[in-house]
Structure 1
Amino acid sequence: MADGARTYHVSIVGEASYQRAIEACREGERVMLFAEIGNPYDADAVVVKCSRNATIGYLGRDNWLRDALLHEGQGCSTTIGTLKRGDDQPFLAP
């Protein structure tokens, strides 16, 4: 991590539908976040895809990062900081 870089923990939603893909993920793995054009449930959906291009979840509708990405009109990459198993959601840390 670069000097002075900040870490933000961002949980994802919808992960119950993507458990197989999440099981293959590892802490420190790069992921991409970007607007998912044509999502039938949310016109402003921001999908989270792992390095194997598999969906592992979405940013929640009330997530500050989702708003920032949609406002800027571009995606970003980050890393998985902590994978919590069970009922807890995975976290992303840039």
Structure 2
Amino acid sequence: MKLQTSVPLYSEKESIDYQSRLFLIGSCFVENIGRKLEYYQFQTLQNPFGILFHSIAIENLIIRAIEEKTYTDADVFYFNERWHCFDA
């Protein structure tokens, strides 16, 4: 009787090496993986907008960065003594 599911693993053509520049964005999982990568001297930029959980907000940030669109005063608001933006 086989009590495990076998999942075949294949090597990718391109792998991460020390010349790779890694951009990590998302949840606190990113923070933990990012710390490990930094410990091993990988070049990383992680969560420049803070921890994000909502996939649509992450998509919006990436699209705006690619299109080189900046945020304006209309995109942010002050509430409960903090600045907020629906994308971050």
TM-score interval for Structure 1 and Structure 2 normalised by the shorter chain: under 0.3
TM-score by length of structure 1 reads: 0.26
Q: Indicate the structure (1 or 2) with the bigger Cα radius of gyration.
A: 2
TM-score by length of structure 2 reads: 0.28
Larger strand proportion of the pair: 1
